[in-house]
Each structure stands twice: as C-alpha cells, then as structure tokens.
Amino acid sequence: MARRVALTIPVLLGVATLVFLLIHLIPGDPAQAMLGEAAPQADVDALRAQLKLDRPLLEQYVNFLGALLRGDLGTSLRTRTSVTAQIAERIPATFELAFAAMFVAMMVAVPLGIAAAAWRGSFVDHAAMAVAMGGMAIPNFWLGPLLAIVFAVELGWLPVSGRGGIDHLVLPAVSLGLALAAMLARMTRASLLEELREPYVRAARARGISRARAVIAHAFRNSLIPVVTILGLQFGAVLTGTVITETIFSWPGIGRLLIQSIGFRDYPLVQGCILLIAVTYVAVNLLTDLAYGWLDPRIRYQ
C-alpha cells in the first residue's frame, strides 16, 4: 500500500512539470501572446518580468514547484487576484455537479444492469443493453442541449442554466451522468453474470433458492466491487465532462472557468485549473486502488 502511494509521487511531479511547460509551448513570445499582438512593448516587457519569463528555464521551474508546494498558483492576468482563491471559490460547484452525475449514473445503471443480468437473453436484456450502447455514443454536448430544449424550453419544468436549488442541478447532472450510466450498466450486467457462475451462488440455487433471490441476496453485493472500481476510475472522465457540461448550462465551476480563461489567454488561471483537475484525478485513482484492496482482500499491493 505504501508502495502504491509512493508510486504517485513521480506521477504528480510529471503532471506539475507538464503544466509548467504549457506556457513554454506557446508559439513565439508567451508574454506577447497573453497580451495580444497590439500590446505596447513596455507592457509585454513588464509582464515578462512579472512572470519571471526572462529567467533561466531551470530557475523558473524550481520557483514554480516551490510556489506550488506553498499552494501558490500565481496571479490571474485578467483579475489580478490569486489563482488559488479563484479556483477554491469554484470547487464546490464542480464537485456538486460531478457527484450528482455519479449519483444519477448509479441510480440508472444498477437497476438496468441487474434487470439485464436477471433476465439474460430476454427482451429486457437486449433493450437495456441497446439503451446502454446508445448512451455511450451520445455526446454530452448534444444530450445537454436536447434535454434543455425538452425539459426547460418546451415543458418549462426546469431552469435552462445557472446554479441554485436542486432543480438547477437535474439537467446538468443527467446530461453528464448518462454516458457513465451506460458504461456502468454494461459493467453491472457482466459482473453480475460472472458472479452468478460462482460455486457459492450455484450452491444456493441448488438448495432451491430462486434466481431472483440468488441475484439480490447473494451475487449482487459481490458484483458491485468492479462496478465501484470503474466508478472511481471514471471520475476523471466525469471531471473532464464538467468542462463541457458547465459550459452548456453556465454552471459556475472549474470547467467553465478553464474555458473562459482560455478565451482571455489568462494562462496562469488555465494552468491552475488544469493542475487542479489532473491532481484530483490522480488522487481519486489512488483512493480507488486503495479502496479496491480494502474491499477485496485477495488484491493487496505489496
């Protein structure tokens, strides 16, 4: 377990290095690119000095890492405020959306997967899996607007955009969670079918327990382990999805902040958003791995 934790340190360092290098990937002069072609030379020089872009690369890198350890992500070029503070302000909204989407996904996927496995090969199975296939192919940037057309514009049941009560959360969470739901439903079905072949379930069946009871009372709990793992591993996809969903529904989270700051060429803020999402993703993957070992003692990290 300690080994698994230790293995994430070089990965985190790599992530930080890549995010640091982003600014240096900008073609031409980064300071000029941030201010636009028309900016006066004096302003460009001032910004270059402010960002210490005139220092040797290695020195910049060491400073970047040092600041990072202190939780300092620099200053936004546009608002002149701390990047860390701006991001911290947006975190609750993004996590609210991400967790709501994962909740929606589980609520849809588990019943669908169980039904498909319980009536394997039947019409129910085929219909559930066809829905799941479709759900995986539908882009969330299409589903979002479609849901908005139907439920917000035509029916007027839910607000079109913004953050507020639970009613504001429904459409973004559903449009973000559906692709995950589709994947989890397939996973639940496959995992449950595998579990139903296990000797202990067959023994229970041989004692005269109905298939439905075998599914619910015996196989279901164990079959959830891989499903929960996938849920954890897919957290990154959900976080990336928030970039799109937040843009569609004007949801005030990190994703929307990222896209807006790209539009303003506010690169310190872009770096901060990307770093936060990537580090969260690494952390959740680590937690998933550790939880997996805890849930299933057969798998332990030496």
Partner 1 sequence: MARSADSLPVTRAGAAIVVVTVLAAVIGPAIVGVDPAFQDLPLRLEGPSPAHWLGLDELGRDIFARLLVGARISLLVGAVVVGTSATIGTLLGSIAGYYGGIVDDVVSRVSDILMAFPGLLLAIAVVAVLGPSLTNVVLALTLIGWVSYARLIRGQVLRVRELEYVQAARALGAATPRILARHIVPATLPALIVQATLGMGGAILAEASLSFLGLGVQPPTPSWGTMLNYGRSHLLDAPHLTIFPGLAIAVLVLGFNFLGDGLRDALDPTMSQGRRG
* Site for partner 1, rule CB under 8 A: 10-12, 14-15, 17-19, 22-23, 25-27, 121, 133-134, 136-139, 141-143, 145-146, 148-149, 153, 183, 186-187, 190, 193, 234, 236-237, 239-240, 243-244, 247-248, 258-259, 262-263, 267, 270, 274, 277-278, 281-282
Nearer Cβ to partner 1 (142/301): 142
* Residue 174 beta carbon to partner 1: minimum distance, rounded to whole angstroms: 16
* Residue 208 beta carbon to partner 1: minimum distance, rounded to whole angstroms: 28
Nearer Cβ to partner 1 (169/179): 179
Cα 111 to Cα 35, 117, 198, 199: the distances in Å are: 53, 10, 21, 24
* Residue 240 beta carbon to partner 1: minimum distance, rounded to whole angstroms: 4
Contacts of 162 (CB under 8 A, 6+ apart): 168, 249, 250, 251, 252
Nearer Cβ to partner 1 (149/212): 149
Nearer Cβ to partner 1 (37/206): 37
- Cα 270–Cα 273–Cα 277 angle in degrees, nearest 5: 140
* Residue 205 beta carbon to partner 1: minimum distance, rounded to whole angstroms: 20
CA dist., res. 47 & res. 56, Å (int): 16
For residue 256, the 8-state DSSP code is H
Nearer Cβ to partner 1 (217/283): 283
Contacts of 25 (CB under 8 A, 6+ apart): none
Nearer Cβ to partner 1 (201/244): 244
* Residue 247 beta carbon to partner 1: minimum distance, rounded to whole angstroms: 6
CA dist., res. 245 & res. 136, Å (int): 16
* Residue 5 beta carbon to partner 1: minimum distance, rounded to whole angstroms: 15
**What DSSP string describes 4-59?**
HHHHHHHHHHHHHHHHHHHHHHSSS-HHHHHH-TTS-HHHHHHHHHHTTTTS-HHH
